[in-house]
Structure 1
Amino acid sequence: MQLLFQVMTTLFVEQLTVIDFSFFDHHRGIVGESWILDVELEGTLDENGMVFDFSHVKKQIKHHVDQLIDHKLLIPKQLPGLKTDIDGDQLTCTTTTHGAGYYRHSSPVQAVTFIPADAVTIETVKPYLQQSLMSILPKNVAALRIELREEVINDAYYHYSHGLKRHFGDCQRIAHGHRSRIQVFINNNRAPNLEQKIAKEWKDIYLISEDDLIASKDERNFLVAYSANQGYFELSIPKHQCDIIPTDSTVELIAEYLATKLKKEHPNDQIKVRAFEGVQKGAIASA
């Protein structure tokens, strides 16, 4: 007896990757973020009995997502007052927020992605990603479903953006970031009051390495600039959204900076800081 129906099978991958990026918000300014990506692929089985080879799913989709939005500055294309200028491979974007101030971001084109919306949210980025990913999948894949979600964090966290000029990869981009937990221990006991204090001080923060500061006559903004192997990067950002640290802003040095700062405030205590960089990774510093 011949079957008159076709069986569809769904392949799923939870937490296929974590997307670390910054986005521009008309009220908050430049905000670091980390989203977890879950994927479902629905389709008919190929000659090997698979919808899509598991060994290729993560590699192919992750590569495409990385090219689209990972370690980039996401800007809503319909952002009020947004002005853009392209000179060769150099893209400069300027805008003024409601209350936050004036911003100018200049970088190679590849460091920025424009989202076709008036705000960057999970709801606006999800269809953009889904449509682009469908174009690279094999023909036997009939449907793609993706979920973007934040890590569930029940204690203190902060959003931070930065750039690492000495990094040879995409971390050198001057406005990428993370949503990160922070844990502080005083004499081996958690100190939630100090964790909340750091999270409050570094809410939507931009971390500036001291030697990346450029002299500027603008009293309201800091000017940050450097050249890296991907090109020239420059950012003018309101001072109230920034903190200046004496080193590069790797997660190891962030943990060390916070531990040293807390040790000065609590000289007779043992300090340990667990600073996260996005989801489930980070560095520990003790003082």
Structure 2
Amino acid sequence: MNLFVNAFTHLDASLWCPEHGLTGASWWVDLELQGPQGDDGMILDFGEVKPWTKRAIDAGPDHTLLVPEHAEGVTVQTLPDERLCITTQTPYAMTVTGPAEAFTLLPVDRVTPEVIAQYLMAELNPKLPVPGQLTLALRAEPIEGAELHYSHGLRLHQGNCQRIAHGHRSRLHIWRDGQEAPEVAARLAARWNHAYLYDQADDVSPSLMGEAPSEPLTSLAYTAAQGLFELTLPTHVCHALPVQTTVENLADALAQQLHEIEPGHHWRVCLNEGIDKGACAQRSAS
């Protein structure tokens, strides 16, 4: 007999994708427990297993960069200071370094929800705090309308959001004068979809003299509580903001963009940060 809990937690991460490069993702995590019924009629104590499993996921792949070690052009190197350096070639060149706990290395050529679930079950079942067998499944939130997959890092955050390459799959809703404007939301979402969003203060790109490179690059670096993080990406996949790229600031930036383009309207922007959380910002008509 099995017990189940659907959507008992969320997993937010970035991953390296052969088609899109660095991209954000968010999934619900469903949990199933198998075991014999005890004298009390229960199989296992969910009150013990659920928080343990959530803590293990939060301390594992959540808010990391999911790296397919066997993907074409992907190289993983351990640096002398025990940080990891990930380099890629396809569909574009990227270099990212950071503490080892900021990455989840997967021995596959493509990251999928099934791969992550198998990885988690292999890690967690030998340590399960009660007798039984744990099964996990990851599934994407159904989204009707505009969505975007973005990656970022929050230098000032004290938790795992400080990791330079983590991300989210998010809803975007926009209202113009109280009426939802899905076409506007789709247009703005496309600008940031599969993009890296960063604070201009983290830009350490060198000043170039003479002939410009064929592929302009943006280099970012900062030291946060967990250590030194560095990232270099093609400039065309990066979007700078003058502030930290929290969901509050992202929603506010979109609202300001709309106000500048069409100042004669009242705009309301609601942007999710993954699943079931986010921020709203407004601008009034001039």
Residue of structure 2 equivalent to 1:94: 87
1:61 to 2:56 alignment: no
SS at match of 1:135: helix
Are the aligned partners of 1:184 and 1:194 in contact in 2 as well (CA < 8 Å)? yes
The offset of 1:225, in angstroms, is 0.6
Residue of structure 2 equivalent to 1:177: 167
Residue of structure 1 equivalent to 2:153: 163
Residue of structure 2 equivalent to 1:41: 33
SS at match of 1:243: strand
Which 4+ runs in 1 deviate beyond 6 A?
Answer: none
Higher mean Cα deviation, 218-227 or 149-158?
218-227
Instruction: After superposition, give the CA deviation of every residue in 1:219-244 in whole Å (9 maximum; x if it has no partner).
Output: 52100110000000000011111111
Structure 2 unmatched runs, 5+: none
Report the TM-score when normalising by structure 1. Answer: 0.92
Residue of structure 1 equivalent to 2:44: 52
Distance in 1 separating the partners of 2:75 and 2:129: 38
Residue of structure 2 equivalent to 1:25: 17
Counterpart amino acid of 1:132? E
The offset of 1:52, in angstroms, is 2.5
Distance in 2 separating the partners of 1:205 and 1:61: 31
1:268 to 2:264 alignment: yes
User: Aligned to 1:253, which of 246, 249, 258?
Assistant: 249
1:207 to 2:197 alignment: yes
SS at match of 2:118: helix
Residue of structure 2 equivalent to 1:106: 97
Identity %: 38
Distance in 2 separating the partners of 1:111 and 1:47: 43
Distance in 1 separating the partners of 2:40 and 2:96: 48
The offset of 1:80, in angstroms, is 1.7
Report the TM-score when normalising by structure 2. Answer: 0.93
The offset of 1:102, in angstroms, is 1.0
Distance in 2 separating the partners of 1:257 and 1:139: 48
> Aligned residues, how many?
276
Residue of structure 1 equivalent to 2:74: 82
SS at match of 2:51: helix
Structure 1 unmatched runs, 5+: 1-8
The offset of 1:47, in angstroms, is 5.8
Counterpart amino acid of 1:244? A
Instruction: After superposition, give the CA deviation of every residue in 1:72-117 in whole Å (9 maximum; x if it has no partner).
Output: 000001022222221232111111113xx21000000110011121
Distance in 2 separating the partners of 1:210 and 1:140: 51
Are the aligned partners of 1:51 and 1:140 in contact in 2 as well (CA < 8 Å)? no
Distance in 1 separating the partners of 2:131 and 2:164: 40
SS at match of 1:160: strand
Residue of structure 2 equivalent to 1:137: 128
